[in-house]
Amino acid sequence: MRHPVFPWIIFIFTGFYIMALSYYAENREPSDPSYNFYDSTTVEIISHGLQELPEVYGQFNNILEGRRQIVAAKDIDSSRQKLVFRVNSPRPTKIYLNEEALEVILLPGDSSLKLYAKFTEDGKLETLDFKGSSSPMANYYWKKKERLRQQNIRASRHVVLTEGFEDYAQAVDSMAAKELVFLVEQEVFSTLPEWFVQFEKNEILYQKAYLKLSAAYNSQVDANLLDQVKINNQGAVFSYYYYLYLDAFFSHLQPKSSNVRMTTENSLTSNTKRNLTARNTKDT
């Protein structure tokens, strides 16, 4: 005859097992993002302080495509709007609220990001709050904008070369150094995921290298002023500037004595496509 205690023991162990699985599911480290050709990403904007909804649109680039895409917001109700993007990888994206630019990162398939914006009576952005799985990265971009203002590469990439290439290279190096210091600070004191820290580091370094290479178009420059960055870097495959740099290096970089030729942003070489395919196969 079965002992009456046995069913209770089984029930208790089953309960503990389910609790352990639930705890693991809630607290495990999120996996690195993978390619998803293509998936939708939705960002919701909730506005306060205005009689009418603000003008909202988004601007981004998908890797490998190269062309800038603009997405207009759709109204949900009197205070809410949404932006729907089609992205093929984690993409840094500019969102404009009444011409106030802010940056977020889009994750394929994610619809959790919400922007809570409070405006002044004259339509100026007063406060901003982020909620959702990518909110730590959005907060990082906002703090970076507040801290560095125009002293970052993305804001100053079109600086006129009034003093020649050497001064330009030094200015770009200085801005990149400030960005890297800020990234290290935020890595220590925030909840940025490890994959994003590496992504942002590659964005900074490869953008710097690409801009120098482009600025040296058809000029005689000291090779020591150009960046020596890693060519075969599967850890950088999410970076748009990584592909721009590879395109310059493999397709258009044709040194003659000490001359350096500039790249175009319109095409990507088969080498870069193979590199992306290799990473995509590895992730899957």
263/190 Cα distance (integer angstroms)? 37
Q: Between 200 and 157, name the one with better pLDDT.
A: 200
Q: Between 190 and 23, name the one with better pLDDT.
A: 190
| pLDDT tens sequence across 63-73 | 878 788 999 99
CA separation (Å) from 1 to 8, 29, 111?
A: 16, 47, 56
Closest among 110, 107, 117, 101 to 58, alpha carbons compared: 101
* Distance from chain centroid for Cα 224: 29
pLDDT level of residue 217 (50, 70, 90 thresholds): confident
> Which is it for the CA torsion 43, 157, 240, 224, positive or negative?
negative
The pTM of the full predicted model, rounded to 2 decimals, is: 0.75
Give the tokens for residue 93.
Answer: 């994206």
Average pLDDT over residues 29-51: 77
pLDDT at 23 over 60: no
Three-state DSSP at 110 gives coil
CA separation (Å) from 124 to 48, 96, 119, 127, 143?
A: 11, 12, 5, 9, 18
| pLDDT tens sequence across 111-132 | 999 999 999 988 889 999 999 9
> Which is it for the CA torsion 191, 140, 240, 101, positive or negative?
positive
151/144 Cα distance (integer angstroms)? 10
Instruction: Provide the mean pLDDT of the chain.
Output: 79
Residue 157 backbone dihedrals phi, psi, to 5 degrees: -70, -20
